[in-house]
Structure 1
């Protein structure tokens, strides 16, 4: 703050910099990795869960497993998928970069430990490369529960993977590559949905931006909504069972 006592906006990192009031609900005990809930009757907002590993990139997506009454949250900082019970307690997590990729013959990729540090000179509010995202090869965006498996998207050149959910609700340890998205642009898939006929819908979003004048938060362009269905029976001549 200067002589008027009001906070001053900073584009780049600076000593003593803090997130603006209200950005992550810090006044109510929140942070970048906090998940909030809204009471369906009163409309009251309260904290549901905290993912303490998130330094700023935030949560990519949430999914609910109605069979085991648990939630899943993708962490854009670490690349982990957190499993959360109905009371908001973190149970465990799944690391796609380490445990998922080798199932498709890919080298494991551990989190590089990058953090969002708004007090560091290298931080630039308009440059996502300085925001502490985990590497693209392990960055999980969308998550969706369907048919006893958790489906999730990875990276900008989006791949769809899944991992089984065991009878006790835990990760089954059987990650499976499902498909590589074919679209006009290599945009991340930030949402996955299934209908009652088991068609899978994938929604793309343009690359993340953050204009200093608040004019844009994602790159404009042609993000697509893509529908897939699972072959029945599976055609061994195709790499993926989804077409």
Structure 2
């Protein structure tokens, strides 16, 4: 009889300890979830007065030199994959039509083959090398340089040379592979994978002052591809595609355009396209 009583007491104590353990575990999980939610919310700032929802490229203007040459807002600034440098021409009126009124300033092929350009509110053009043809026209030491075409003169010159986090590995001749402009903060975002290898992801996204060329903030350790700034009801975010995966991520931006908090996963593009491995460009 005494043994049964002791056994019941022991079982009751065991059950009580088990429920206590479960309670502590649930509390820890809830605390972790709360911390994550608070961290995400605290990294986002409300939009500044006058900033609208949506994309932030509303201010991008046609270069003044182009307007003086007779081009209008429909003119195309092109970095053709097979032609070296930058070109401007009148937009064809029909699909497949050969471009007309094609012009290239003598300086526009000085940086070799180029990636997609972006404009600011004054009509200045920012562009970076893209060694998609050869390394003779696009030497590795030039791959982390942003060039600028002056809106007044049309001359292309070096704007900012970004640091290399590591020596360029033989399997990766690329440096800057993405540019995005935010009209709200007058920030140029530059995605570089310079120094990244098969085993190391050393990419950096820079926030650059488009007026001075000063690096204002940076996000380390991410090989990013295409980028775009978007204003949400909860704040401003930079969206970017991963160069290594078919995924799109984003990171919060402050009212000054600087990076806030940690990047977060948005959605996967796995299975998209004919090969099933499309990347956001």
TM-score w.r.t. length of structure 1: 0.47
Q: Greater Rg, structure 1 or structure 2?
A: 2
The structure whose residues are more often helix, as a share, is 2
